[in-house]
Amino acid sequence: MENNTVKNYMNESIDPSLFTPVEHDQNKERITRPTIGYWADVFRRLRQNKLAMVGLTIIILLLIMSFVGPMFSGYDYSTQDYAKINAEPNGANWFGTDELGRDLFTRVCYGIRYSLLIGILAAAFDFIIGVTYGGIAGMASGRVDTIMMRIAEVVYAIPYMLIVILISVTLSNEQGASLFTLVLAMSITGWVPMAIMVRGQVLQLKQNEYAIASRSLGASPGYILKRHIIPNTLGPILVNVTLTVPRAIFSEATLSFMSLGLQPPQPSLGVLSNDGLGVLGINLYYQIFFPALMISLIMFSFNVLGDGLRDALDPRLRK
């Protein structure tokens, strides 16, 4: 009885004119912003990092220069002209010439090509071996994982430059170390950091729901690793690969500078720096300045690009 009285009182006291019907506009609920995929979002955030884009631009320009530059110079990297020995930079020879009259600009372009090729090949070997080894160790776990990681730790305990020098000296011939020898020497221990990083990612990701669900449906460990876990570790892997390239280039330059890497007339940046050092005392600074400048630019570009990729691939920095 009391509830009916309250309801009647509320119905009599509320004026319907105080209320305005709300118009339902379906267009307000429509998604107007285009859907952005993961890699598109990564590239968008990478573009916002101006220093990383400067590094990427320098890498692209150096790569173009290494292939297109010799076409414009009109010289071959091994052609000697004794009438132009140690010529300073001029309109015909933009970077000058060396002690045998060879065009230094052309040799620097070929040196960039050799150095980038060595760095990319060494990073590719580290990627293939490290991802495979670390993925198998992480998925296997138990005794297999323990044995594989102890082997990796033993290999990693050997100083990097020491093993590179020993392999280069052992496999070199009268003409010096070949391109394959240098890449092999750098890859013997260079894959271990990649393997350790991938193993840690696999141990973490294989406990996620999608991996457990795939395992419960009968998927093999290799299928789970290939289709679910490795794609989700591409971010740290790409950052590691980007930082491996400058390390390999610097190692090649160091070996060639010590006359343990590529030998003349092959014009790697390390060889050119070594040649330029020999004439530095007679005021021919440009013969070491340009190769050293290119090494510095390559190292700087890959390092800032790697830092930018690390920030762009970090999901915690998404907005």
Task: Tell me the pLDDT tens digit for each residue of 223-269.
Answer: 888 888 888 887 788 888 888 888 888 888 777 777 777 776 777 88
Residue 159 confidence class, pLDDT cut points 50, 70, 90: confident
Would you say residue 316 has pLDDT above 70?
no
The backbone region for 314, taken as left when phi is positive above 0, alpha when psi lies in -120 to 50, beta otherwise, is beta
φ and ψ at 27, to 5 degrees? Answer: -65, -25
Pairwise CA distance, residues 288 & 28, whole Å: 65
CA distances to 15, 25, 168 from 20, rounded to whole Å, are 11, 15, 85
In the chain, where the domains are located: 39-82+90-317
Residue 310 confidence class, pLDDT cut points 50, 70, 90: confident
Would you say residue 317 has pLDDT above 60?
no
Pairwise CA distance, residues 16 & 14, whole Å: 6
pLDDT at 43: 82
First to last CA, the chain: 58
Residues 6+ apart with CB under 8 A from 91: none
Residue with tokens 């330029």: 276
**Which residues share a beta bridge with 97?**
103
Lowest mean pLDDT among 13-27, 93-107, 159-173, 251-265: 13-27
pLDDT at 64: 92
**Which residues share a beta bridge with 176?**
173
Residue 57 confidence class, pLDDT cut points 50, 70, 90: very high
pLDDT at 205: 84
The identity of residue 128, as a single letter, is: I
Question: Do residues 283 and 12 lie in contact, with contact meaning Cβ atoms separated by under 8 Å?
Answer: no
Would you say residue 172 has pLDDT above 70?
no
pLDDT in tens, 81-135: 888 888 888 888 888 888 888 889 999 999 898 888 888 888 888 889 988 999 8
**Secondary structure class of 88 (helix, strand, coil):** coil
Would you say residue 78 has pLDDT above 70?
yes
pLDDT at 157: 84
Q: Which CATH architecture has domain 39-82+90-317?
A: Orthogonal Bundle (1.10)
Three-state SS sequence of 278-297: HCHHHCCCHHHHHHHHHHHH
Residues 6+ apart with CB under 8 A from 251: 160, 161, 164, 186
Would you say residue 190 has pLDDT above 80?
yes
Residue with tokens 């790409």: 238
Residues 6+ apart with CB under 8 A from 168: 177, 181, 182, 185, 255, 260, 261
